[in-house]
Structure 1
Amino acid sequence: MAHIALYRTWRPQSFQEIVGQKHIVQTLQNSLREGRFTHAYLFNGPRGTGKTSAAKILAKAVNCVNGPADEPCNQCDNCIRITEGSVMDVVEIDAASNRGVEEIRDIRDKVKYAPTEVRHKVYIIDEVHMLTTEAFNALLKTLEEPPAHVMFILATTEPHKLPATIISRCQRFDFRRVSLDEQVERLHVVCRQERIEADDEAIRLIARLSDGGMRDALSLLDQIMAFSGKHVTYDDVVSITGGMASDQFEQLVRALQQRDVTAVLQLIETFMQEGKSADKCMENLLYYFRDLLMVKMVPDSQAVTDRIIDVKRFADVAATFSTEQLISMMDTLNYYQTEMKYSMQPQTLLEVALMKLCSANAAERPAGVAAGAAQAAPDDSGSVDRLVPQLMSRIQRLEEQLAQVLKQGAAPAAGSTPNGRSSARTTASPVAMKRIVEKLDSFLSAQEDAGTKAVLQRWNQVLLRLKEQKIQLHGWLVNGEPVSFLDDAVLVAFKNEIHRETTEKPANKQFIERVIGEVLEQPVRLVTIMLKDWKAAADRQPSTQPKQELKLVQEFEPPAAAQEEWIHEAIQMFGEDLVKIKEE
């Protein structure tokens, strides 16, 4: 027999098997026991917390031969067939793939017919937030006043996307993330029944990684079993999930405390060689510092005990930092984590972030480092002090290189940092400014070339093709206009800074360059500039056009009749003696 995934094998079949949703189970069971169940329910909450399972259990409970009862018997023909999904009157619809108004109109037309196999018709609409506005409108009246034999159960992970008119017609139940202890208990039950030997630390790590979703925890356990067999260890979980053990983080934090840049970079390189991703390392490191902060500020909190296995070990590490230092480090890491989303070199950003943490001022050192420095030899402290300016200089060079990679040839605006934020203290060096001016002069000289004219003639084709393939990028690029074409670079001037920054994001920029290259039938690079900066540069550019002599040209020759009339009037006004007629 083919293997069935653990989360399917252990899917709850009764209310008592639902984990971590006692408030919902008790309410539903009381309403079933008293016969006060309603016609429409809305189940919402995070993924893998039991929304669809609870809906199917409720469908069985109202249609059980021995019911309606607070628990389905799971023995009668109705319960068995509903579990198998073979009852035509219990319909489960995936709104993500059936989101149109026609599907909802089909339901609206069928609800008026009485059920043929069971007591109640039940419609379970999963991911209901995916329905279109027209589909919601078609559902409204039916949802408000359905026939007595019909029940609707709507399930969603994003209730804020539902119209208020839909929510007001349903009884709403909010599913919560399953707590760590409840997940651990359930996983131990599964391991005992499946005859799996699992270390307690491994089970707790699986529960933490599932982020409150019982289904995710069972899927992860199933995956680890495929790797390690019937014995699951903590190291197996770390290896399979691509995570990092807490002792690895501790080594990294100790190196940061000692401002040992070499050790920090070696550890990062080791993580990369082990197959860890830079963004995952950054995320896990943020969580580690978060745990240190929690241990330091609220050591007895449940938020600490839920995430940390060895609290004492964390407390020892946290004692070497002040609260302000931990918060500052988290701010730095969070900033670079945000920048990673738009970077093509996330490892470089991770290294820059950690070097910034290493290069903190001596006054901001952790307590343990300060004490160690006091006992160090004078030569050692002097070498450390000399190392700080070198590190700061290296970080600045790395940031400049990173900015050039992100911009990919775009001229940086004056008074802006590599990350795009304005800074009055940051100015480009004279050499860099000279190169920028020379490059801009080349573009100005090329604005009348045949290549530029060819780009201008085909630009509408570029916009049209971009609109067909990715309309969002068309909305950003239409704000710019091509002003010059030099070598293989198309210079586009933008009126709005936000539009320019969006097109400069690596993924967007590569897509636009590909479309332009297809239209021009040659590989191109996209370079951007603000339109006001382009016009200012053009105004400063000396004119190369030859000066033209201004001449007064008579636009038309008055007819002869008009000339004689003017002469006659002049003679009458000034006298014949004063008027002299000259032929030109």
Structure 2
Amino acid sequence: MSYQALYRVWRPQRFDDVIGQETMTQTLKNAIMTHQTSHAYLFTGPRGTGKTSAAKIFAKAINCHYQKDGEPCNECETCRAITAGALNDVIEIDAASNNGVEEIRDIRDKAKYAPTQADYKIYIIDEVHMLSTGAFNALLKTLEEPPTNVVFILATTEVHKVPATIISRTQRFNFKRITAADLFKRMAYILDQKEMTYDPAALKVIAKAAEGGMRDALSILDQVLSFSDNHVTLDNALDVTGSLTEALLADYVQTIQDNAPKQALQLLQQILAEGKDAQRFVEDLIEYVRDLLLYQQAPELVAASEMDLLDEHFKALSAAMPADRLYGVIDILNETQQQLRFTNHPEIYLEVATVRLTQVQTAQVTTTMGAAPAADNEQVAALSQQVAQLQAALQKLEAAGPVSAPAAKPKAKPAKKISKKVNRKAIYPVLTDATRTNLENLKEVWPDLLNMLDVTKRAVMKVSEPVAASQSGVVVAFNYAILFERASNDQDLLNILENGLNRLTGNPFKVVLVPHDVWPEIRQEYLQNHAVPSQQVTTDDEAEATPKPEQKPAVVEQAQALFGDAVVVKKD
């Protein structure tokens, strides 16, 4: 049989084997034992933390007839078939390569059929955030009202890309990063089972480099085993991960503390000559300086996270370097880290950063001890001279007596300008056919239209309201000019508004935007240019103030002419 990677061979087969996720696994076991399982689950968290493994274990446990305390037996035919991926009722889908509407519709159609071998049909959709918008919409109704004996398990590393409507229809489990201590214990257990020798310090380096992912840790361990002929040593772990020893990092930080640029540059050349990655070197250095800073405030916290790798040199540096100096070092390293992403000559930026780091304290001392007092003395002398001049000028003014100030000329108010971006050619046809009934009908559906928008677009439209409407168009006024400009330039927003009104009313609408303070002038301008009495244009702000005159039927006017107003009485 061909060789299999460690993370595949040692994939968890029971909930108790999922490392570092005790809260989630215990909740799932309790749900299985009490038969209170949900129809849809959402597993979120960083890569390699056990999301897909937990989904497969759940599929086995819920279908196992011999499960005990919520754990699958892993011996029955159903459990073995699920483990081998041969059970037709447990379907695992990669959403990254099956993210279209047709694939999800196929799932929706097949989910209606009852399971053939197991009690429950399980759909495991990995990286669900890769689904398209149409695919999410196709999945939505099925998640809301799923068929009997069907369970959906969605897994993702980027939950912020999953629509809220999907999340609200699932039970969400947040898988956290696995601690370095748990990673160390799991790797030690695996190596003991394989009867391989290892250096504990090497496993600690691998655990830190894995950054909370069990799959990453086992992949690095697999690489180290191949590199070192089935024996894990510290030097090999450092070579594979590209990390630096604590002693080398301490020596580099010591040159910064001693303000010794020559020794620091020599040490940097040694590090680069050994083939260490520049980006990895800066990352390790930032983490080391961060630990120095935290050790000053919470020693026990750093000691736990570093798994007792701290030596006396580290403790001495933490006590010797002030917090302000460490802040400056981290700022320079962070700036250098950004620069390294866009260069083909990382050694140049590292050398510049090294010189800057070794001169930070020197510049601070010079400013504090020398330049600052001299600058202060010069500033005090200049201020004293200005005070003397002001006092002399004040005495002259008092001797001359009061002087009447010339009357200030009132400033002419600037003429109000109508925005050039207002589309009058689109507004005038709406005003020609505008009626009060159309406006009232549109106001009734306006809240529903805003609810169809996303959060950003809804925030823009919250400060707007329809002020005139016809059968085919609506004028929307904005309270703030800046939001009017933003909405006018957002063609996507205008398309969504028009499509939404079409869906809500059944009529195609043209949406025209206008600033609220400019709207009265545009309306008056239309009345003047088209010689229309103001009563014939019904808008939101003037419909109630200027009611239309009641038009009498011709028969009523004829009767009044024949018999007089006092005799004729009109009744509906």
TM-score (norm 2): 0.62
Residues 361 and 32 of structure 1: is their aligned pair in 2 closer, same or farther, counting only changes over 3 Å? closer
**1:256-307: CA deviations, max 9, x gaps?**
2222222222222222221112222111111111111111221111575446
Question: Is contact 2:259-2:362 (8 Å) kept?
Answer: no
2:125 corresponds in structure 1 to 125
Match of 2:28 in 1: 28
| 1: CA distance, partners of 2:113 / 2:282 | 57
CA contact (8 A) 2:180 2:212 kept: yes
Task: State the shift of 1:66 in Å.
Answer: 2.2
Q: What does residue 172 of structure 1 align with? A: 172
State how far apart, in whole Å, the 2-side matches of 1:365 and 1:208 are. Answer: 37
Per the TM alignment, residue 345 of structure 1 is displaced from its structure 2 partner at its CA by: 2.2
Quickly say closer, same or farther: Cα 1:236–1:143, change in 2 above 3 A. same
1:104 aligns with 2:128: no
The 8 Å contact of residues 64 and 79 in structure 2, kept in 1 or not, is answered as yes
* 8 A contact 1:95–1:126 mirrored in 2: yes
- Alpha-carbon distance change, 128 to 27 in structure 1, aligned in 2, over 3 angstroms: same
1:223 aligns with 2:223: yes
Name 1:93's counterpart in structure 2: 93
The one-letter code matched in structure 2 to 1:147 is P
Cα shift at 1:330: 0.6
Deviations 1:148-202 (A, max 9, x none): 1110000001111100000000000000111222222111110100111111111
Q: Matches of 2:175 and 2:348 in 1, distance apart?
A: 40
Paired residue for 1:214?
Answer: 214
1:296 is aligned to 296
After superposition, residues 116-155 of structure 1 pair within 5 angstroms as 116-155=116-155
Deviation for aligned residue 1:343: 2.6
Q: CA-to-partner distance for each residue in 1:309-353, whole Å, 9 max, x for gaps?
A: 125431112122101111111111111211222233222111111
Shift in CA distance, 96/308, structure 1 to aligned 2, threshold 3 Å: farther
Deviation sequence 1:89-130 (CA, Å, 0-9, x none): 100000011111110000011011111111111000000000
| Secondary structure, aligned partner of 1:97 | coil
CA distance in 1, matches of 2:277, 2:183: 27
Mapped contact 2:112–2:147 kept (Cα < 8 A): yes
- Which residue of structure 2 aligns with residue 74 of structure 1? 74
Q: Deviations over 1:436-462 (max 9, x none)?
A: xxxxxxxxxxxxxxxxxxxxxxxxxxx
Name the SS for the 1:49 alignment partner: coil
Q: CA distance change for structure 1 residues 264 and 312 in 2, over 3 Å: closer, same or farther?
A: closer
- Counterparts of 2:311 and 2:11, CA distance in 1: 33
Cα offset for 1:229? 2.1
Structure 1 residue 65: Cα displacement: 2.9
Tell me if the contact between 1:206 and 1:220 (Cα under 8 Å) persists in the aligned partners: yes
Look up the equivalent residue of 1:162 and give its one-letter code.
V
Task: Say yes or no: does 1:336 pair with 2:336.
Answer: yes
Equivalent-residue separation in structure 2 for 1:278 and 1:216 (angstroms): 21
The residue aligned with 2:202 is: 202
Q: Give 1:66's aligned amino acid.
A: Y
- In the other structure, the counterpart of 2:406 is none
Structure 2 CA distance for partners of 1:344 and 1:15, relative to 1, 3 Å: same
Asked if 1 retains the 8 angstrom alpha-carbon contact of 2:259 and 2:361, the reply is no
Could you tell which deviates more after superposition, 11-20 or 264-273? 264-273
- Aligned partners of 2:268 and 2:274: how far apart in 1? 10
Residue deviations 1:526-549 (CA, integer Å, cap 9, x gap) = xxxxxxxxxxxxxxxxxxxxxxxx
Q: What amino acid does structure 2 have at the position aligned with 1:130? A: M
Structure 1 residue aligned with 2:309: 309
Runs of 4+ in 1 over 3 A off after TM superposition: 302-308, 361-366
CA distance in 1, matches of 2:190, 2:214: 12
Assess, with a 3 A threshold, how the Cα gap between structure 1 residues 201 and 68 changes in structure 2: closer, same or farther: closer
Structure 2 contact 325–361 (Cα < 8 Å) conserved: no
Cα distance in 2 for partners of 1:163, 1:78 equals 34
Q: For residues 68 and 87 of structure 1, do their structure 2 counterparts lie closer, same or farther at Cα, with a shift above 3 Å needed?
A: farther
Q: When the two structures are aligned, how many residues end up with a matched partner?
A: 366
Separation in structure 2 between the aligned mates of residue 191 and residue 68 of structure 1, nearest angstrom: 29
- Specify the code of the residue in structure 2 equivalent to 1:335: E
Q: Contact (CA 8 Å) 1:296, 1:318: kept in 2 or not? A: yes
Q: Which amino acid aligns with 2:26?
A: Q
AA aligned opposite 1:197: T
Say whether 1:114 aligns with 2:127.
no
Distance in 2 separating the partners of 1:313 and 1:266: 20
TM-fit CA distance, 1:364 = 4.1
Q: How does 1:97-496 map to 2 (within 5 A)?
A: 97-301=97-301, 305-306=305-306, 309-362=309-362, 364=364
Q: Which amino acid is 1:314 matched to?
A: F
* Unaligned ranges ≥5, structure 1: 367-584
Distance 1:154 1:303, change over 3 A: farther
1:362 offset after TM fit, Å? 3.2
Asked if structure 1 preserves the Cα contact closer than 8 Å seen for 2:220 and 2:240, the reply is no
AA paired with 1:243?
S
Task: Tell me which amino acid in the other structure corresponds to 1:44.
Answer: T
Compared CA separation, residues 320 and 68, structure 1 to 2 (3 A): closer
Q: Aligned partner of 2:90: which letter?
A: V
What is the alpha-carbon distance in structure 2 between the residues aligned to residue 69 and residue 292 of structure 1?
A: 46
Match of 1:576 in 2: none
Amino acid at match of 1:116: T
Q: Can you give the 5+ residue segments of structure 2 that lack an aligned partner in the other structure?
A: 367-572
Matches of 1:293 and 1:47, distance apart in 2: 29
User: Which runs of structure 2 are paired with 1:502-517 in the superposition (5 Å)?
Assistant: none
Q: Deviations over 1:365-391 (max 9, x none)?
A: 79xxxxxxxxxxxxxxxxxxxxxxxxx
Asked if the contact 2:14–2:72 (Cα under 8 Å) also holds between the matched residues in 1, the reply is yes
Decide whether aligned partners of structure 1 residues 253 and 27 sit closer, same or farther in structure 2, where only a CA change above 3 A counts: same
Q: Measure the CA separation in 1 of the matches of 2:268 and 2:197.
A: 33
- Tell me the secondary structure at the aligned position of residue 270 of structure 2: helix
- Which residue of structure 1 lines up, in the alignment, with residue 9 of structure 2? 9
CA positional deviation for 1:231: 2.1
Report if the CA contact (8 A) 1:62-1:69 is conserved: no
Distance in 2, matches of 1:356 and 1:204, equals 32
Q: SS at the partner of 2:178?
A: coil
How far has the Cα of 1:69 moved from its partner?
Answer: 6.0
Identical pairs, percent:
48
Q: Deviations over 1:68-98 (max 9, x none)?
A: 9601110000000000001111000000111
Is the 1:62–1:68 contact (alpha carbons within 8 Å) kept by the matching residues of 2? no
Kindly indicate whether the alpha-carbon contact (under 8 Å) linking 1:296 and 1:315 is maintained by their aligned counterparts in 2: no
Evaluate the alpha carbon distance shift between residue 350 and residue 307 of structure 1 in structure 2; reply closer, same or farther with a 3 A threshold. farther
Q: TM-score, normalised by structure 1?
A: 0.61
Aligned-residue Cα RMSD (Å) equals: 1.7
SS in 1 for 2:118: coil
Q: Report the residue type matching 2:255 in the other structure.
A: A
3-state DSSP class of the match of 1:301? helix
